[in-house]
Amino acid sequence: MDSEKLKIAVLGGTGNIGEGMVLRLALQNLMAEGVKNEVIIGSRSREAADEAAKKALSELENCGFDTSETSVTGSSNLEAAQVADVVILTIRFDHVLPLLNEIQEAIENKILITPVVPMVKEGNLFVYKPPEEGSAALAIQKRVPSSTKVVAAFHNIPAGKLRDIVKCKAVHDAIVCSDDEEAKKLVMELTEHMGCLKPLDGGPLKQASTIESLTPLMINLARLNQLKDLGINFS
């Protein structure tokens, strides 16, 4: 699979993380040489997805980009998954399993990226609450076809930094975990093309629990210390 010519579906692409992911993926076509990916926003509402696609293109144009060189369209979650080579789940954990049931056949032999974090709010803070499998990534792997290549990535990336498409330099590290080395490599290449992230190999999928658990910690640190858009840098 060519990382520079992909159809990428962002399911739940009308939410904060989804919107930022769509902008960065669309920006790849305008900033990275040779990259010509198609971005498909998936939503429960096709109308909402269409509006999100128009909004993304408008934001790119307002930043001075010629959007004739990129492709962002809207669709239902199922239809987006059916036509995509790579599917990204930018939805809450409690909505993941019903969606996986809906798109089972559509994700066979495809790469499925999960930035999903199972967490709950207790008082004013968030707590990591993994399922019995140990992580959202492992729970997802258990419920998809055996041919689906599950990759855990983008958990600790603040939505505000993804959406800030004016800043194109690498500002945060993005840890990528998978049991499939080829799928991991492709996602790391995709991440590097986003312009705001530096991909790091995080090992097999079982390591995803450690990465997922950092997200509530970062949110709590931001709230307790009046900080904004915290990310991870290991250098």
Q: Within 13 Å and on the Cβ side, how many CA atoms surround 119?
A: 24
Tokens of 94: 């409690």
pLDDT for the residue 9: 97
pLDDT for the residue 75: 96
pLDDT for the residue 183: 97
Please check the confidence at residue 169 and state whether its pLDDT lies above 80. Answer: no
Select the more confidently predicted residue: 69 or 6. 6
pLDDT for the residue 70: 87
Of 66, 69, 102, the C-alpha closest to 87 is 102
Q: Which CATH superfamily is domain 6-225 in?
A: NAD(P)-binding Rossmann-like Domain (3.40.50.720)
Residues 6+ apart with CB under 8 A from 70: 26, 27, 29, 30, 39, 57, 60
User: With contact defined as beta carbons under 8 Å apart, do 52 and 25 qualify?
Assistant: no
pLDDT for the residue 155: 94
Q: For the chain, what is the mean pLDDT?
A: 91
pLDDT over 70, % of the chain? 97
- 175: helix, strand or coil: strand
Q: Which amino acid is at 211?
A: I
- Average pLDDT score over residue span 182-198: 91
CB-CB neighbours of 118 under 10 Å: 21
Tokens of 142: 């258990």
Tokens of 21: 């992911």
For residue 165, name the pLDDT band (cuts at 50, 70, 90). Answer: confident
| Helix or strand holding residue 216 (H, E) | helix 208-224
- Average pLDDT score over residue span 7-27: 90
Over residues 41-95, the pLDDT tens digits come to 999 999 999 999 999 999 989 988 888 888 999 999 999 999 999 999 999 999 9
Please check the confidence at residue 2 and state whether its pLDDT lies above 70. Answer: no
| Helix or strand holding residue 113 (H, E) | strand 111-114
